[in-house]
A and B are shown apart, each in its own frame.
Chain A
Amino acid sequence: MPRDRDPLVVGRVIGDVLDPFTRSISLRVTYATRDVNNGVELKPSQVVNQPRVDIGGDDLRTFYTLVMVDPDAPSPSDPNLREYLHWLVTDIPATTGASFGQEVVCYESPRPTVGIHRFVFVLFRQLGRQTVYAPGWRQNFNTRDFAELYNLGLPVAAVYFNCQRESGSGGRRT
């Protein structure tokens, strides 16, 4: 697929949060019955609780880290808190899910107040089991720096969805 058609590129996830990468592991994120595909719009009420995350791969001895960030905090036109860390789970064995990993930063429900935010899930392959320290605060997290700090390399998978406040009026006309 041509790079410039990739929804992650068009939606500026690659650019604002991540560097270009090649998908190699399947990542499935599901809120209740709704699968997260790139660019879908979900309401805050639909994402209150942490989603079910299933990852692919084949070797149970390979571990993965899942990061969930909001690059548009507090507002997409002035994202001075980019990125806001919503969830951080490490040591997820391949073929399993986030519930099998270590929750380093617990899931915080998205509650955008201004504008339409993107919420990005990123999956990294770990070199081995490793200790990851939670950052002191959730705002101004930098996924790129985090990956470099823990030698995670480029992502192996990513997906994002859009979310605005419950009574918001912007976004796709359904």
Chain B
Amino acid sequence: MEEVWGDISLASLNDHPAVTPTANPPSFPSVILQDFLAIPINKEMPPTARSDCGTFLAEETTLFGSLPPTPATLFTLNARSIASVAVKAPTPSFPSSCRKQGQENEENSDDPRHKRKIKNRESAARSRARKQAYTNELELEVARLLEENAKLRRQQDKLLASPRQIPKRNTLCRTLTAPF
């Protein structure tokens, strides 16, 4: 992996001799991808990253494109928010290359309002689901109870219709047993 980085940086440096590294050249061969991502968003990108070397940018974007899923799987449930930040991090760095995320940039500037809207929408959806679920349950209960009621009525009618079948226990069957 690091050899790839080394190859790319050396190649780009060779192609653009005019773009010389600044006084503090980031030693690319030793910069691993995780460290690269750890660079704060606001910090100035290394000069070679902003160069017109299209292949270099393309390499980086593809690497970036492949990386976001990995941190998400490594993180646990509790760190879901961290994972989402890690995915967002590359976006400001490459606004031109990531077209889809470019549209979100405008809404991201309205962040608290946008977030609130989304939260509100979700809350409203939950509220509607709650109401609908309860209504459905009530309808089922009503149907259940009506059926039970009908069944019990039928049973009762059957029992009332045939009183003769009820055995009488208190009458004597035999009145004379002894021969005397």
Q: Which residues of chain A have a CB within 8 Å of any CB of chain B?
A: 1, 5-8, 10-12, 37-40, 76-77, 80, 82, 116, 140, 162, 170-172
Chain B residue numbers with a CB within 8 Å of A11 are 129-130, 133
Q: How far is it, in angstroms, between the C-alpha of A5 and the C-alpha of B135 when the chains are bound?
A: 10
Q: How far is it, in angstroms, between the C-alpha of A76 and the C-alpha of B127 when the chains are bound?
A: 11
Known contacts A77-B119, A77-B122, A80-B77, A37 near B141 by CB under 8 Å = yes
Chain B residue numbers with a CB within 8 Å of A76 are 123, 126
Contact with A along B130-154 (1 / 0, CB 8 A): 1111101110110000000000000
- Of all chain B residues, the one with the shortest Cβ separation from A12 is B129
Contact in complex: B77, A140 (CB < 8 Å): yes
Q: How far is it, in angstroms, between the C-alpha of A38 and the C-alpha of B119 when the chains are bound?
A: 25
A-B contact pairs, 6 of them (CB 8 A): A11-B133, A37-B138, A39-B130, A80-B80, A140-B78, A162-B130
Chain B residue numbers with a CB within 8 Å of A6 are 136
- Of all chain A residues, the one with the shortest Cβ separation from B141 is A37
Contact in complex: B122, A7 (CB < 8 Å): no
- Of all chain B residues, the one with the shortest Cβ separation from A140 is B77
Choice from B78, B123, B134 contacting A172 with Cβ under 8 Å: B134
Contact in complex: A7, B123 (CB < 8 Å): no
For B, the interface residue count at a CB cutoff of 8 angstroms equals 19
Q: Which of B89-126 contact A (CB under 8 A)?
A: 119, 122-123, 126
B134 to chain A, nearest CB (A): 4
A4 to chain B, nearest CB (A): 10
Known contacts A38-B133, A40-B134, A7 near B80 by CB under 8 Å = no
Known contacts A77-B123, A140-B78, A172 near B136 by CB under 8 Å = no
Chain B residue numbers with a CB within 8 Å of A40 are 134, 137
Contact in complex: A10, B119 (CB < 8 Å): no
- Of all chain B residues, the one with the shortest Cβ separation from A173 is B131
Contact in complex: B131, A7 (CB < 8 Å): no
Contact in complex: B136, A7 (CB < 8 Å): yes
Contact in complex: A1, B130 (CB < 8 Å): no
Q: Which of B67-99 contact A (CB under 8 A)?
A: 77-78, 80
Contact in complex: B133, A7 (CB < 8 Å): yes
Chain A residue numbers with a CB within 8 Å of B129 are 10-12
Chain B residue numbers with a CB within 8 Å of A77 are 119, 122-123
A13 to chain B, nearest CB (A): 8
Contact in complex: A172, B131 (CB < 8 Å): yes
Contact in complex: A38, B77 (CB < 8 Å): no
Q: How far is it, in angstroms, between the C-alpha of A38 and the C-alpha of B136 when the chains are bound?
A: 9
Known contacts A140-B77, A140-B78, A38 near B137 by CB under 8 Å = yes
Contact in complex: B133, A39 (CB < 8 Å): yes
- Of all chain A residues, the one with the shortest Cβ separation from B132 is A10
Contact in complex: A1, B140 (CB < 8 Å): yes
- Of all chain B residues, the one with the shortest Cβ separation from A13 is B133
Contact in complex: A39, B123 (CB < 8 Å): no
